[in-house]
Structures are given as structure tokens and as C-alpha cells.
Structure 1
Amino acid sequence: MKSSDRIRQYSDLGPLERLTFDAVELGSSDTFSEPSSFREAYHAAQRFVSDRQGWLVLAGPSGTGKTLLAAAVGNALVETNQPVRFVSVPDLLDHLRSAFDPAIGAQFDDIFLQAIEAPILILDDLGVQSGTAWADEKLDQILTHRYNRRLPTMVTTGQRFDELNDRLRTRLGDPYFSKLVHIKSGSGTPDIRHSGLDIRLAESMTFDSFTSKGASGASSAQKRSLSEALEAARVFADHPAGWLYLAGPTGVGKTHLAAAIVGESIQHGRNVLFKFIPNLLDDLRRSYGPGGEQSFDNIFAQVRDVDVLILDDLGAEVSTAWAEEKLYQLIVHRHDAIMPTVFTSRIALETIGDPESQITSRYSEAIVSRLTDAKVVAERYLSAPDFRHRGASPRPRATKKNTRRR
């Protein structure tokens, strides 16, 4: 294998090999990042390639081009036969955890040494990793070693600099050794990739692809319920105001309409988040613990304060006091501020306070009171056969064999 091929393989850039400085647009567009701050980061990245000294730290919100510049630096160094290692921090820690076994200790050592001793190291997405004591310790060991040895290192982070711990701030912000560039967010033109909605759902679940005729066998009343829900969703997407509550059994199109609202909101340039409630609560639980307070606050604030929020499948979450407390805090905040919010649920509002529903804890009365506030909430109940059963023929029942014991 040629030396250049070995360096390319060692870099671990993989699919990022296509991201070069030539692929970076330095125009006046402020769609994703504020032009002057991005230009400063671009030139700092080019200087890092030529000087190969000190540390370069790019900080800024998600989607502002930090990883693009980090990959461009890596590819430029590879082109000049400089050994560089590109590492996503969450991936690095996952690999270290999986290799952290006495039986395969050598593998752990190899992965760790590749990061700690790399001639030039690029650490992408610092701060995205799970904030555990173990993860913090490994990162601290890597960065402290490289800081003390003055090894060339580039770091990108989506965290605000004041949210980093003291040791990280000391090293990353050393004015004599580290160049820190803050990339500011642009005009905020939203992107479906940042909405929390799977892009495949966004492409398939639109208003145009929603059929108000329902599945085979739908009655006139059922078709009317679908038409009314579609119209309410369209109106909300065009002029988000108040709350829209889409209820109905499984498979009638509630999530389809919610996803269509996301897509339409993106087209109108609005910041929107789509959250499947059980997953949201899982994310909050994982971030809530020792060392995780900042991560928890960030996730919760992002959901609480977004312009348009879609909460999918209310009632599917595990009903614990902690879960309902978080839902209560979220619902109260958005209700008091009358922030545009969409709920989907299998629970109709007229029965949401019943003991049969899952919202039954000490927060039930406060949650139900706000969800049933007719001045804020518009409910549409989708009553129709399950779309997913279209064209499906029932399975033949298996015949029981005579299994009499002898």
C-alpha cells in the first residue's frame, strides 16, 4: 500500500472525503451561518492546515458548518501527506466503551492511543456525547495529554462555551495556544433534518398524499372526520395559532397529518420540532443525572421554547410521576404562552381524564384542564378504519393438531 493510501486510511474520514475547501461556499448567503463569522472560521481552518500548530476550536449551533470545515481540514492535510486522525467524539467513546473489557484490553489501548497520540487530531462534535463521569474522564485524559504535549488539535462543539466544564474551557480557550472561533447561526431558514422528523416520513407524509376517503369500507361520517382533520391541519400549518389535538385509533392518519404540518412549517420558514413523546421522555431521562444537568436543560428548553411543537402519541409514554411532571411543565409553559402546539393521541379529550386513560397521576387534573381549554385547543377526532389494513387479507387460523399425550 502506498504511503498516501495509508494516510488516507488512517485519517478515517470515510464518507467525508468529498468535503473539501473547494466544496465550501463563501458567498453572502446567511441561510445556515452568519457570513462574517463563517468566513473567519474558514480562514482560521486554512491557517491551521498550513501552520499545523496549536489548537483550533470552532464553536456554534448545529448546522452552521463546523463539521464541513473540520472535514475540509482533514482532507487538505491528507492531500499533503500529513497524518491526521478525524474522530467523532460520540463514536470514539462508543468504541472505547465496547472495547473496555479485560479480555480485549489491547483493543481499548489501540483505540485510545490512536486518539491521544495522533500527530494531528480532529475531534468533531464535542459535547454531543453522553455526559457520564467515565466519558468525561476519557476526554479529559485525551485533551490534557495533547494540551501538555502541545500536539496540533482541532475541536468542534455545538455547546455554548460557557456551558463547558472549567477544565475544558481552560484548555480550549487558552489565548496563547488555542484559536477559538464562534460561528453564529444564520437567518434560521429551517431544515427538515433538524426538525426531529425522519426524512423518509417527511417525504411520504404530506397533505397531498393524505386521502380523506379513508380505507376500504369507510362510512360517510368517517370520511367527513378525515376531511375535517385534514382541513384543520392545513389551516394550522398555514397560520399556526393555539393548539390542535388530533385524536383517533391507531392507523387513521394522525401522525401523517402531524408530519405534513412539519413539512409545511419548514416551507414557511418556521422553526418546528416533531417529538414522539416516549422517545422525548427517554432522551430527557438519559440526560438527567450527575453531570447531565446542562444537557437536560438544553433538551428541555429546545422543546419548550420552539416556535411550533408537534408531540406525537400522547398517552403512549410510560406513566410515571417523573414523566408526567415533565409533561406537566412542558404543557403549562406552552399553554400559558399560547405557543402553537399539535398533539396526536389515541385518547379523545372527552375521556382523557378517565381512570382508563394513562394520564392519571397527581398532574392529571392540571394537564387535562389545559388540554380541554376550548379557548386554546381545537380537537379533531379521526374516526375511520385502519389505513394499514388496506388490501390485507386475514391470515388463516392455524388448525390445532391432536397432541394428546400417550
Structure 2
Amino acid sequence: MENLGDILRRITEQATLRNTDRLEDTSLGSLETAEVCDICQGAGWVSRAVPVGHPDFGQAFPCKCHELDDNSTQVESLRRYSNLGPLNRISFSQTRADGPLPDTISQQRFSKALSASVQYADEPSGWIIFTGPSGSGKTQLAVSIANHCIENGLTTFFIISSELLDHLRSTYAPDNETTYDVLFEQVKNVPLLVLDDLNTQYVSQWAQEKLFQILNHRFNAQLATVITVRGALERLDESLRSRIETAEDFSNVFQLGQYNTRLARRIGDIPSGMLRMNFTNFDHRGGSSSTSNQQASLEHALSSARKFAGRPDGWILLTGPHGSGKTHLAVAMAAESLRSGDTVFFAFVPDLLDHLRTTFSPNSSIGYDELFEQIKTAPLLILDDLGSESSTPWADEKLYQIMVYRHETLLPTIITTSYGLTEFRDDKSRIGSRLMDDLVVEWVPIDAPDYRAHRR
């Protein structure tokens, strides 16, 4: 069994040779070689030929060759095998306790993840997963775990998921000396695998299947695995996500950082022209043609909106015909929160879904997960004109995911809609079931004529 680090270096070298015209200037013999053990071929570990179900099935054991090495020799051998390269300098001692980001929430999250990482590195068991935006410290923690485990004598292998897939593909080249099976089996069975930047959003079906086979094997064999995901778990293929989310006693997920990029905040800004809408200029009389019942409806809506703005708690749902003042009151409530220094995400629902769709474009300047997470977790979210969007399974699912998260976490939410109770039951039953929870949602029906018509 050849050393996995040497396999990948040789594959990379061969791929380079195939893509250059100067073959005579490069020699495979220039790669550094060393005497390797006849038993493990330099890997430092072996697996036992036992049947499925045996306690040792899928486990790795130190090779006899390491029994003759002193500790420093073993560690140096493990470092060569690990594929960490220059990253072998990263350690917990060099890691800031509050992480790389300046905001309080990110620092608290990093501190919690760091503490868990140190415990995991001392006794690697199960999976530990770090999610979050770029620059939040995911790889720092993953590599620190890897180096700590190497110091403790555990065979560890680090690789970026995209590089792993490239190496697997290259084994099919006719001049490649490494077979697919050799590389694939070693990655599947290494005692500790650190898989950096796992992403299945923009990869082929073949690539998704390979990643699933590796992680499924490691899950079933209960092999220690460290994974980093740029963004939220939602960006992963459902089959991979199920391995992470359905085994709380086996895997621990830590979110680092916050999804609050400038572009996402700009998407959620209230248009400047709408900021003129406030409580003072809201017409609670509804025009000369309004009946006493309609005026009472407007006065009740104004009172409810003022109360919510004073202390945003739970959800408020403003229903009524177009032009009855729903959006005016929603913006007025948001303005009060903005004046208090709170963060508000305003979204006209059809535009919001368009923004989410465009994030899948290769040219998008913001990722889907970053925008989606900011919408889900906004301190105050306004969903304007719910029900006016094109109803597709994808759109309904995205809205439902937002609703479920905010409903379960009781995040303050303002919703305006021209839908009534019957329409929600018939057209959007899953969303409607959340809106009918009167312990969380205050329904505020507005029975008033279109105020725009009175200005004509």
C-alpha cells in the first residue's frame, strides 16, 4: 500500500507533465523518495482483513514499522503523509481565542468551536463540522485539529474536496501509475480525514457520488472526520446532509461567523423613497368614502403596528386588499427599529426570490447560502406582499424554509399579504399552518378601500 501523500504528489506531477510541452525538463525521478515499509508501504497504518460486523472492521492500526521508531521519527513520517505541507505550522497555540472576525456574535461562536476542537483533537471520535462564510476560521480549526492529532501519533490526511476529486479523475488517465481503487480506498479508510471546503453545489453527479461513497463509508465505520463547509449545510447534497444532521450523537456542527455581507445588506435595504412612510402620515380615516367599520379597522391596524414597533416580539401579519396601507405600516414599524439601531431586512417577496435564483449564477457576487442565511436570521424581517410571487415548488420550498426557521426561533417578522385565511389553506397550506399559530402570529386584517384611488 503506497503512501497516500506520495500518491497525490505523483498524480499531480503526472498531470503537470501531460499538460506541458517540456517533458524533457521534468523528471518523475526528481520527486523525493525514501525507504518504505514492505507492510504498509509508508502509510504508517494497516487495516485488518476481518468480516463486516467485526469490531475491527474499517478500523486502522499502527504498522509494526512504527514500533521501531522514536516519537520524533513517527511524527515526521506522519507529517509527510498528511498532505498538510506548509499548513503544518498552524496550531491551537497560534489561534486567537476570539477568532478572526471583529463582531461579538462571531467571536462567541469561534470561542465555543475552539473549545470543542481542542477536546476533539485530544480524543478524535465521530465527526466535527465547521460551517460559515469565508474568513471565519473554519480551516484554521480543522488544520489545528489535524496537527494536534499528528503530534499524538494519529495517522491524518488533509485535502480540499475539489483537489480530491481532481486526483480521483486523473487516475483514469492511461499513463497514470496509480489505480483509482488504491487512492479511493486509502481516503475512505485513513484514521483521521480532514476534508476542507466540502461543496456539492456545482459539481457533477459523478463527483457527488464519489464524495457520498467516501463519507458514507466513514459514517458506517465510525471513522473520525473533520469537515469544513463554506456556507450553510443547505448547500450540500441532501444525501450528505442526512449523514450529518440525523446523527446528533455522532456529529457536531459549529457555525462560525455571520452572513452579513455588504451586498446582502444592500439587497435588504428599504428603498429610500419608501422611508417617507411613517406613523404620523398614515391616514387612519381612510378617506371621505370610508365607512365607520373601515375607519375602525385602520385605527386598530395603526394601534397594533405602534405596539409591535415599540417592542418587536413574535410575528405581525397585515392582511387586506391592495392599497389599504399594509406596506405603509410595515415600513413605519421598520423605521422605528432602524432608529433604535436594530438591523432590518426588507424584502418584496417576488424580488427576494429573484435575488435567490440569481445567486446560482457563476457570475453572482454573492452566494446563495450567504443571502439565504441572512434572510433567515435577520433580527427583523419584513416580507412584503406574500402571495404575489410566482408559485413554483422551488419558490414555495424556499419561503417555507424561511418561515419554519423564524417560527421555531421566534424571530420578529412582519408580513403583508392580500391573501385571506381560505387562500392560504388552499394555495399555501404549509406556510398557512405557520401563520395560523396565534401564539406567535398576530393577524391584523385591514378592511379599507384603496387609498391610492382617493388621490386621483
TM superposition score normalised by structure 2: 0.42
Who wins on radius of gyration, i.e. which is larger?
Answer: 2
TM superposition score normalised by structure 1: 0.46
